[in-house]
Amino acid sequence: MPEHTWRARGTVAVAAVGALLAATACSPGSGPGGGGGDGDLSGVELKVAAKWTGVEQENFEEVLAAFEQETGASVAYESTGEDTGAYLGPKLEANEPPDVAILPQPGLVQEYADQDALVPLEGDAAAALEENYTDYWKELGSVDGEAYGILLKAAHKSIIWYRPDAFDEAGVEEPETWDDLTGETAATLSDAGITPFSMCGASGWTLTDWFENVYLSEAGPEKYDQLVAHEIPWTDDSVVQSLEVLAEVWGEEDLMAGGNDGAVQTDFPTCVTDVYGQDDAAMVFEADFVAASAEEAGATVGEDALAFPFPAVGEAQPVVVGGDIAVGMTENEGVQELLAFLASPEAQTTWAGLGGYLSANSGVSADAYADEFTQQLAQTILDAGDDVRYDLSDQVPSQFGATEGKGMWSILQDFLRDPADPEATAEDLEAAASES
């Protein structure tokens, strides 16, 4: 993967709604994602549920508005809140699921498919998935070879954000390798009296992101997939080695704001505020959505809030992606047409122009995005090709990978408190994985 130096420019919408709607227009029956033609769903009412609120919801509703204009259907949006499972559970029990749900974890696709709560992609929806996504993304939304879901919105999770004034003061530059990060950048910052990292350890999911990036870069995509499927145990040497790598930062009190105790007690987005609002540290690791929290803390993205790719631990820089998967939960008229539309480059180009969005759709070009920084992030996903991987903790059963106080979150928090015994931590991870 080619090296990138990023200068984040912020995510500001620059396209008018009329132009966006025009960009999504397709002739009747013109192919996958065409929506089925003008007015052919007149009178049809659909409900879509997702976790998005605020600007994210508004932008998604712009995409839905284009579908409504094209087809004549009426689409109502409902927010699930952060706990999608807690929202969907009662809906399924009452036999009143939304027509389309946006799931934040591939593991939920498996769980709901096992409950016969999902409807497989058919017709134009299946064709749109086949045409616009690589095999990896197609498999991500499939269960036992049956395609159910479409990765609709991605998050780039291989980014380290920093304060350029702190780097300038210490005389350091953006590192390209893990050894550069720990042996040069972090050490020099510390010697200059600047704490290198603000950690977000109270939010356990951020620690899984640390592990995933180290593991993907050091062990490689094949091992990564084997660990996701639990085809190799968490006691495998590759896991222990990655924990040892993490301990090069997590085991050094002086490298983290507040030391180990402070690292475990700081949540996201407080960790971002500690860098950009309080100047307590020079760097914070997390996804592209750090930009919003940095701006809320008073930073200007692209000027005093910059980012560089997660450094290579092995041969290549890792590209880990999270995101949200659209699935059909009813067989009502218009559901497959809506899914086909959501899978289309036209629909996702609309959202790309609005900002705050990344796509894994091969038909969405990098220049579709409203700002230079997001264009560069999108290009890294395209450049990574078959080596890009989805967030590991979101692919395993949720009680192991995505539950507060349990599984990976809790075990990695314990390791952050005291990273002295990587082998014991690997054993704890294996025990938790085997129970899930």
pLDDT digits (tens, 9 = 90+) for 378-392: 888 888 888 999 999
List strand residue ranges (DSSP E) for 190-335, in order: 283-285, 306-309, 320-328
pTM, to two decimals: 0.83
Closest residue by Cα to residue 358 from 374, 372, 370: 374
Pair (378, 334) in one structural domain:
yes
74 falls within a domain = yes
Pair (236, 310) in one structural domain:
yes
Reduced to 3 states, what is the DSSP secondary structure of residue 159? strand
Pair (198, 250) in one structural domain:
yes
Q: What's residue 18's pLDDT?
A: 30
Q: What's residue 6's pLDDT?
A: 54
Question: For 90-133, what is each residue's pLDDT tens digit?
Answer: 999 999 999 999 999 888 999 999 999 999 999 999 999 999 99
Closest residue by Cα to residue 306 from 220, 370, 372: 372
12 falls within a domain = no
Pair (186, 259) in one structural domain:
yes
CATH of the domain at 272: 3.40.190.10
Pair (331, 253) in one structural domain:
no
Pair (108, 180) in one structural domain:
no
Pair (300, 200) in one structural domain:
yes
10 falls within a domain = no
Pair (185, 305) in one structural domain:
yes
420 falls within a domain = yes
Pair (302, 331) in one structural domain:
no
213 falls within a domain = yes
Does residue 267 contact residue 203 with C-beta atoms inside 8 Å? yes
Does residue 297 contact residue 273 with C-beta atoms inside 8 Å? yes
Residues in the chain: 436
328 falls within a domain = yes
379 falls within a domain = yes
Between CA 346 and CA 15 the distance in angstroms is 14
User: How many independent structural domains does the chain possess?
Assistant: 2
Pair (305, 229) in one structural domain:
yes
Residues 6+ apart with CB under 8 A from 282: 162, 163, 166, 167, 170, 189, 194, 195, 196, 197, 275
* 102 phi/psi in degrees, rounded to 5: -105, 110
Between CA 139 and CA 413 the distance in angstroms is 31
364 falls within a domain = yes
Pair (170, 100) in one structural domain:
no
What residues in the chain have per-residue pLDDT under 70?
Answer: 1-39
For residue 206, the enclosing domain spans 160-318+396-435
Pair (182, 132) in one structural domain:
no
